[in-house]
Structure 1
């Protein structure tokens, strides 16, 4: 039988996602994964070194595609930093929701695995923050002086910490259409880093009419 010659990076991401959703676990090894999908094992290594790397890239792929979609919207370049953050966050988490079962499987049940899997996403997110104008970014303006006076790299890390908090909330959200996650994105970007300043990701929230409580653990 002729081997499938139409294998590229995105096709591998799709095949791997389908496999773990259907089987509830990783393939036994790369050889069997390639054989089952009718392509040579060496093709896999042209893009990835192993299954952990492909899982990292799936989350990163969702982010990159979300950013590309945002950048195609009208007036993207005219948006301020807050508007760009909101647009990207809403688009990314809508993308995650469309692939929720897969994302939850990849992130796993331990914080250690989650932080490993998020490494590539983190790089792309921090690269995105470099285009933001911190001087006009309300979420940072409302932070304590200790954060406002940090250098640009530290502020990028603070935005990443906020981004992680949204992922943690989304994982636990049981509201219809995950509407509370959308509210969380909007409210926390509006209120700034007050919740981060008081023991990162562990402060109980009370955001006005948004009457719910949730605790985050790193």
Structure 2
């Protein structure tokens, strides 16, 4: 008799990721997924209502693991907002890189599709809460044309920046994803300069970088 697999949220996620990578597709049904991994279908529903919910939880776990890592760092707590934001990006994309085969399979879509993917919905919520805590969206308005910008709009721009970075990382074939590291540094520096209406040296520098890499923003 085959021994039943002990099920919890974490090993359901691990089993699901393995199945997707080994079979190159999402399981046909919860029943077949449970059967191939030797547990009862009802056990799955104790943690997730669907594969869609499980997929969203995977990206939520990437976020939570990132925050746990940062919170263990004494240096992180002393950083200013920009360096905390950079630390988040590098740690988060480090987590993605450790699981690149799955993430690439899961997210390799056109850029226009990423913002509408339900599997990123929970990540988006967590990310925007993180932005609020960093207070990145509070702009010292020095330009009258920006008077009507709302915090929610500013925060949404940071989410779009995350999606653009995801797209760049998915397409990056440089050694150790060095180009993505440069992309992160330059894009965040540029976004902070724009937010504070400082001289736009970093914005111009970032624009030159994008032109050089010939990234498609479609």
- With normalisation by structure 1, the TM-score equals 0.83
Contact kept, 8 Å, 2:115 with 2:163, in 1: the verdict is: no
Task: Report how far residue 191 of structure 1 moved.
Answer: 1.5
The residue correspondences of 1:112-191 to structure 2 (distance < 5 A) are 112=113, 115-116=116-117, 117-134=119-136, 150-191=149-190
Judged with a 3 Å threshold, the aligned counterparts in structure 2 of structure 1 residues 143 and 49 are, in CA distance, closer, same or farther, namely: farther
Task: Report how far residue 175 of structure 1 moved.
Answer: 0.9
Judged with a 3 Å threshold, the aligned counterparts in structure 2 of structure 1 residues 133 and 17 are, in CA distance, closer, same or farther, namely: same
Contact kept, 8 Å, 2:107 with 2:114, in 1: the verdict is: yes
The residue correspondences of 1:24-103 to structure 2 (distance < 5 A) are 24-103=24-103
Q: CA RMSD in A?
A: 2.9
Task: Report how far residue 214 of structure 1 moved.
Answer: 1.3
Decide which moves more: 179-188 or 105-114.
Answer: 105-114
Contact kept, 8 Å, 1:56 with 1:120, in 2: the verdict is: yes
Contact kept, 8 Å, 2:7 with 2:39, in 1: the verdict is: yes
Task: Report how far residue 207 of structure 1 moved.
Answer: 3.8
Task: Report how far residue 190 of structure 1 moved.
Answer: 0.9
Judged with a 3 Å threshold, the aligned counterparts in structure 2 of structure 1 residues 10 and 155 are, in CA distance, closer, same or farther, namely: same
Partner of residue 199, structure 1? none
Structure 2: gaps of 5 or more residues: 195-205
Contact kept, 8 Å, 1:108 with 1:114, in 2: the verdict is: no
Deviant stretches of 4+, over 4 Å: 140-149
Contact kept, 8 Å, 1:63 with 1:92, in 2: the verdict is: yes
How many residue pairs get matched? Answer: 205
SS in 1 for 2:116: helix
Structure 1 or 2: more helix by fraction = 2
Judged with a 3 Å threshold, the aligned counterparts in structure 2 of structure 1 residues 67 and 146 are, in CA distance, closer, same or farther, namely: farther
Structure 1: gaps of 5 or more residues: 196-203
Contact kept, 8 Å, 1:70 with 1:76, in 2: the verdict is: yes
Contact kept, 8 Å, 2:82 with 2:192, in 1: the verdict is: no
Contact kept, 8 Å, 1:104 with 1:171, in 2: the verdict is: yes
The one-character-per-residue Cα deviations of 1:94-124 (angstroms, maximum 9, x if unpaired) are: 1111111100111243543663221111011
Decide which moves more: 6-15 or 145-154.
Answer: 145-154
Partner of residue 198, structure 1? none
